[in-house]
Amino acid sequence: MDGKLNLNGGTFMSIDHHANPFDPEQFRVSDSLGITGDGIKKELTHVRVGKPKKSSFFRAHPDEIYRIPVSVIADDSGGMKDEYLVMPNIAFQYAEETTPKLLVLCVDKMGIPFLWLAPRVVDDSPMRTNLWNETALKGLELALSKWVRLSANMQEGCYTVHTAGAEPDPVWPDLTMAQLIELGFGEEKIIRSDQHPLIRKLLGRD
C-alpha cells in the first residue's frame, strides 16, 4: 500500500481493496489472562462461593492446601441460601446447626476461580451419606486431574459426572487460601463468636 498526503501535510495509508476485510488476523489480540494491552493487571476483588455451575467444566486445585475441612451454618431466611464459615469452637457449641464441608479452590474454563463448599463425610456423624454427596465427591476427585462437569440426574437422585478430553491445565490465581477466603466470605460471613448476628438470630435474641 502506498502512503498518500493528507490535508495536514502528513501521510496516511490507503486501503487495500483486495484484502479481506473480515480477515480474523486483523482482530487478534493478546490472549494473556488478566493482562490488558497497556500492561495493567486485573486484580480479583471478589470470589464466588458456590457449587460448580451445571453448564461449565471446572478443575479443582490438586494441592491439599487449597482443600480445607470446615464447618458451615446455612441461612436461607432471605430467600437465597447463604453459607457462613464457623470457627471450630463455635461449631462445637452449635453442632446441631452446623454442616461439615470441604472448602475447595476451583476454576472454570473461562479462568474464573470460585470456592466450592463440597460435601465432607465425617466418620462420627449420625447423618448418612447419600448419592448426591457420593457422586459430587467422585466428581471432585476426578477434577483434581481432569476437566469435569456435574449435572443433576433427578431420576437417579445423584450427579452425572462428565469429563472432557485432553485439555490444557488451568491457570490458577496467584493468591493464598487466606486471601481467597477473604474475597469469598469477608468478615461478615465468618462466625467467630456467639455474638454474630446469625447465631443471635438462631437463638432468638434478635
Q: Give the residue extent of every domain in the chain.
A: 41-128+171-202
Q: For residue 114, give the nearest of 122, 128, 123, 104 by alpha carbon.
A: 104
State the Cα–Cα distance between residues 123 and 40, nearest whole angstrom: 48
pLDDT tens-digit readout, 89-130: 999 999 999 999 999 999 999 999 999 999 998 765 545 568
| pLDDT band at 7; cut points 50, 70, 90 | very low
**Coil, strand or helix: which one is 34?**
coil
This prediction has a pTM of 0.78
| Contacts of the segment 158-167: beta carbons below 8 A, 24+ positions apart | 158/131, 158/132, 158/134, 159/132, 159/135, 160/135, 161/135, 162/57, 164/57, 167/57, 167/109
